[in-house]
A and B are shown apart, each in its own frame.
Chain A
Amino acid sequence: MTDTLLTRRGLIASGGLAAAGAAALPLLGGQALAAADPLTLLNVSYDPTRELYKDINAAYAAYWKGKTGQSITINQSHGGSGKQARSVIDGLQADVVTLALAADIDEISARAKLLPANWQSRLPNNSTPYTSTIVFLVRKGNPWKIRDWPDLVKPGVGVITANPKTSGGARWSYLAAWQYGLKNGGPAAAQAYVTKLFKNVPVLDTGARGSTTTFAQRRLGDVLLSWENEAYLTIDEFGPNFDIVYPSSSILAEPPVALVDKNVDRHKTRTLAEGYLNFLYSPVAQDIIGKHHFRPRNAQAAAKYASSFKQIPLVTIDDTFGGWKKAQATHFADGGVFDKIYKPS
């Protein structure tokens, strides 16, 4: 009997040890990953930039080789902006983040302290090397005659957009709709308008790419609220089955980029990563940006691709919504305005 008891105690001890080992594992994992070589970068980005950064990475690798003779590798990770930010907070070793909205990078700074709170002032133009906006994508010939925001709340019109709680692009779309309501009757009218708009949404995908697929492939809905670049990309991919409609006004989407200080110091990649972010503002990269239907900051590149960027009045998040922190808390936090839309009445 004593024998058994002893063995049992031993067992429990070894079980406990194993458990403790497991608890320590994530910490060790972080260290092991940190031993990356200084010529590799990881850019953690959002959904619709896959094609853009593929070209930019190739250009930067060529530029770096010409300057220093070193061959570099740039790895990409794409997904919903919020999910990507969470991965970085949880330990994904991003050297740079290029996300859909500043609020997500703010979260990385606030929660994981991987970069200083003033990160957005470190690069020109609020750390956004390009801008974009939200436009309408309709089916060829525009059978529902959708020209502007009021047309979206007509009975019977199916509006496709993603869930603003999970998708950065959908958050911009929501705010673009809101600014229209705000201009035409103030905050109460804005809320009524957006509520009515979401009553016409038959499916809420979790990401912008998902809603594009729903609209283009499943042929659901009559109008897609889309990133401008994604709208052009859809036409490139699926042929001329769609028309792009510019509403009378929209929002200036500013997808920011930032260096993740703690990670680059650990990887000894600061020079390379800083060079990468500055390169985004160079004429070469700005031209690639324009080619991919994002709006370049550089005047020359903007002029070159001006034909694909219709000039419409665009409000900014800072002027109209008091910055991302406030917009996030008011509209998208639990119990915020967006949740009220779906309260059963």
Chain B
Amino acid sequence: MTGQLTLSPIPTAGGAARPRLARWRERSILPGFGLSLGITLAYLGLIVILPLTALAIRPWELGLSGVWATLTEDRVAGALKLSFSLSAYAALLNAPLGVLVAWVLVRYEFPGRRLLDALVDLPFALPTAVAGIALTAIYAPNGPMGELAAKVGLKTAYSPLGIFIALVFIGLPFVVRALQPVMQDLDREVEEAAQTLGASAWQRSIHVILPTLAPALISGVTLAFARAVGEYGSVVFIAGNMPMKTEIAPLLIVIKLEQYDYAAAAAVGLAMVAISFGALILINTVQLFLARRGRR
């Protein structure tokens, strides 16, 4: 049993469980395993598991029916739907645009490239409230962009579109930064080989470049999505915060807390964690499937 030989491929992130189990029994060759795993477990327990456990325990004060009633309430359901759908749209828009930005920054040499590259990080570095206030100032009806949009009959700030803009803004660096290293490592010879074999530019991008980028792209988009779902600071300024229309789930949690309704706030939080977790598992499965197919 202990020394069973497995012929499965090298396990990837989120890979099959069997080879990993076999490895555990084998004893690691690297020294320091016990100590480092101990620290890892204690640290993760403290930073991740403990607060999540508290979150998971709290809502049940309301009872199952109470939690269900909280989550199916029009306002809560509306906020959850708004948060998750807009986050998904924003992440999806960032996918093609993120690829383009990363491509330009990696593949071309031009003056100001480094500056542009640094700018990509700005949504990371900026305090979210500052980002929110800046975006609102620009997209409010009296701001330069808001005025322009109003001319074509679009309402930007204080509408779902405003939330979408903020979520695109904070999501972009996740996609670009996930793609850049992979793009840098792209083997040009492979592309050239494809070209000599008669592949057109289109065929090269679809069949050669995109499959290599796919895992990084998916993980970047996932991170952008996850971040957008929980985003509070930059959104509350631009959203308008109208119940049923532009009220995001994190704001609803804050409102419930201000009403001392800790259990209901935790229920909404837990629902968000559950939905996010489900989405992450789904995306990981897709990624695994793509990785397997890529290897074949």
Contacts and interface: CB of A to CB of B under 8 A. Distances in A.
Interface of A: 1, 4, 7, 10-12, 14-16, 18-19, 22-23, 80, 82-83, 86, 89, 107, 111, 163, 165-166, 201-206, 217-220, 332-334, 339, 342-344
B192 interface: no
B2 interface: yes
A1 B260 contact: no
A1 B2 contact: yes
Contact of A7 (B34, B140, B251): B34
Interface in B239-296: 240-244, 251, 254-261, 264
A19 B45 contact: yes
A321 B53 CA distance: 41
B107 interface: no
B260 A220 contact: no
Interface in B166-217: none
Given A83-B258, A203-B242, A220 B42 contact: no
Nearest to A89: B260
Contacts of B236: 206
B242 A343 contact: no
Interface in B38-88: 38, 41-42, 45-46, 49-50, 74-75
A59 B225 CA distance: 52
28 contacts: A1-B2, A7-B34, A11-B34, A11-B41, A14-B41, A15-B38, A15-B42, A15-B45, A16-B45, A18-B45, A19-B50, A23-B50, A163-B255, A165-B259, A166-B258, A202-B158, A204-B240, A206-B254, A206-B255, A218-B136, A220-B140, A220-B141, A220-B142, A220-B158, A334-B256, A334-B259, A334-B261, A339-B243
A30 to B, nearest CB: 18
Contacts of B114: none
Which 3 pairs from chain A and chain B are nearest by CB?
A342-B243, A18-B42, A82-B258
Contacts, number: 96
B42 A14 contact: yes
Contact of B260 (A12, A111, A163): A111
Nearest to A219: B142
A22 B50 contact: yes
Given A15-B42, A19-B46, A204-B243, 4 more contacts: A11-B41, A202-B242, A220-B141, A342-B244
A280 B250 CA distance: 38
Interface of B: 2, 25, 27, 34, 37-38, 41-42, 45-46, 49-50, 74-75, 136-137, 140-143, 157-158, 236, 240-244, 251, 254-261, 264
A165 B258 CA distance: 8
A206 B38 CA distance: 44
A111 B251 CA distance: 23
| Chain A CB within 10 Å, residue with most, of B46, B243, B254 | B243
Contacts of A219: 140-142
Contacts of A1: 2, 25
Contacts of A342: 75, 242-244
A336 to B, nearest CB: 10
A309 B90 CA distance: 50
Nearest to B239: A203
Contact of A204 (B34, B241, B257): B241
Nearest to B143: A218
A14 to B, nearest CB: 6
Contacts of B50: 19, 22-23
A86 B261 CA distance: 11
B46 A22 contact: yes
A115 B159 CA distance: 43
Contacts of A19: 42, 45-46, 49-50
A76 to B, nearest CB: 20
Contacts of A23: 50
A203 B141 CA distance: 12
Given A7-B34, A86-B260, A18 B46 contact: yes
B75 A339 contact: yes
Nearest to B241: A204
Given A23-B50, A219-B142, A12 B258 contact: no
A213 B197 CA distance: 63
Contact of B254 (A15, A166, A205): A166
A218 B24 CA distance: 60
A205 B45 CA distance: 37
Contacts of A80: 258
| Chain B CB within 10 Å, residue with most, of A80, A218, A339 | A218
Contact of B140 (A18, A83, A218): A218
Contacts of A202: 158, 240, 242
A209 B189 CA distance: 60
Nearest to B140: A218
Contacts of B261: 334
A11 B158 contact: no
Contacts of B242: 201-204, 342
